[in-house]
Structure 1
Amino acid sequence: MGVVDDFKGASIFCKVAFILLLIATLFTCISYTTTDWVYNDLGAAPLHWGLWRICGETEVPVTGCESIDGWANDWYGVVQAFVTFGFFGILVSFFLVVLYIFVGKCQKNGEVAIAVAIICIATGVFYLIGIIIFGAKVNDKWVEDAATDYKFGYLFTLSIIAFLLEIVAGVLMIMEGKGGGGGEGGTKPSA
């Protein structure tokens, strides 16, 4: 069978999980690597904070971006760690769903589906913890005043969407693995 036939042969739960994880992968790759989790848009030098750097809107390389990898700020390191677990969880889950749909030895194997579900839900919880800590601490650290106006950026929103898509995909893969979507409920593939 070809790739199209393999995809057509997958259950609706698996197809939807595949699409959700594809979108989550795209969103998490963008939000993980770029800078706009929070920003200030007032003042002489607007800044954008990501997980790994702070960037200004100037084009001068010296003042353009500053790395915050290894920043001596405990809560920021915790956010980086938890979001990293969520990031890798989405990538691994997407890879396993691709195997589940397109590789003969993994097709309709309920154990693979349940593994995807466990990874999605477990790392989704880590992702959520990182998002919550970031949201709570930003409000504590970057209090709005007359000189600055800090706002959550679109990448923070993309991270929330990626987390939600990951959790929904995990639930769909539980239903798939239990046999509700055409999976064989944990049976091993034939040799």
Structure 2
Amino acid sequence: MGVVDGFKGAGLFAKIAFGLLLVATLFAWIAYTCTGWGEATSGTNEGRHYGLWRSCSDDKYTPTCIQLDGWANDWYATCQAFVTFGFFGINVGLFLLILYMFVPSCLKNGEIGMAAAIVCIVTGVLYLIGVIVYGAKFDKDYIDPGSNNPTWGDFELGYCFGLSIVALILEIVAGVLIFLDSKKGGTSPSA
């Protein structure tokens, strides 16, 4: 059985979930690795872009990046952890769905389908928590907690934050669709 046959033989919900997870995986990879989660739009930090793991300036003469992994900031570490769970969940969910749709020994196995659905839904919710934490906390306090210094300027959320929202929604919807597909047509090999 080839890939095309596996795709043709899959249920409608599984096909839709596969497409959603492919897009979610692309968006999650971009968001997880880039510095587009937030940006300083004015003040002394204007042109500085913030991501989960580093912060970089867009100064063409002296570009600098600062590593943020290991930063001793509780809300930031919480965001990194929950987004990491969501990121890996999308990848694991896609892998399990590929097994469920294309590997002959796992084809339409209800247990694999349920595992994929649970992984997608649970890690999608964890991803949502991480995104909410970042959105709630990212402002001038991100740079200097407790400061009323007006020179820090304004901050706004960036494209990676938006891609993460789309990715987690697609992941959760795909999880529900996989659940419905595995309940409707998934059977274990012994049945």
Whether the TM-score (by the shorter chain) exceeds 0.5 is yes
Whether the 8 Å CA contact 1:53–1:68 is kept in 2: the answer is: yes
- Aligned position for 1:5: 5
- Aligned position for 2:30: 30
CA drift at 1:8: 1.0
RMSD: 2.0
Among residues 135, 149, 157, which one is paired with 1:152 in the alignment?
157
CA distance in 1 between counterparts of 2:134 and 2:43 reads 23
- Aligned position for 1:172: 177
* Unaligned segments of structure 2, at least 5 residues: 143-147
Letter in 2 for 1:106: C
CA drift at 1:144: 10
Letter in 2 for 1:56: S
CA drift at 1:3: 1.1
Whether the 8 Å CA contact 1:39–1:150 is kept in 2: the answer is: yes
* Unaligned segments of structure 1, at least 5 residues: none
CA drift at 1:147: 5.4
Give CA-to-partner distance per residue, 1:120-148, whole Å, 9 cap, x none. 11111110110111111114725895752
Whether the 8 Å CA contact 2:140–2:155 is kept in 1: the answer is: no
- Aligned position for 2:18: 18
Structure 2 residue 54 is matched with structure 1 residue 49: no
Whether the 8 Å CA contact 1:79–1:131 is kept in 2: the answer is: yes
Percent sequence identity is 55
Once structures 1 and 2 are overlaid, which stretch shifts more, 140-149 or 126-135? 140-149
Give CA-to-partner distance per residue, 1:136-189, whole Å, 9 cap, x none. 11147258957522111000000000000000000001101111xxx23xx322
Q: TM-score, normalised by structure 2?
A: 0.90
Q: TM-score, normalised by structure 1?
A: 0.90
CA distance in 2 between counterparts of 1:14 and 1:122 reads 18
- Aligned position for 1:75: 75
Give CA-to-partner distance per residue, 1:36-79, whole Å, 9 cap, x none. 10101224641000000000002456x42110110111110010
CA drift at 1:9: 1.0
Whether the 8 Å CA contact 1:36–1:156 is kept in 2: the answer is: yes
Query: Match of 2:138, SS?
Result: helix
CA distance in 1 between counterparts of 2:2 and 2:40 reads 50
CA distance in 2 between counterparts of 1:25 and 1:147 reads 35
Aligned residues: 185
Query: Match of 1:108, SS?
Result: coil
- Distance 1:59-1:140 versus aligned 2 partners, 3 A rule: closer
Whether the 8 Å CA contact 2:21–2:94 is kept in 1: the answer is: yes
- Aligned position for 1:114: 114
Moved over 3 A (4+): 142-147
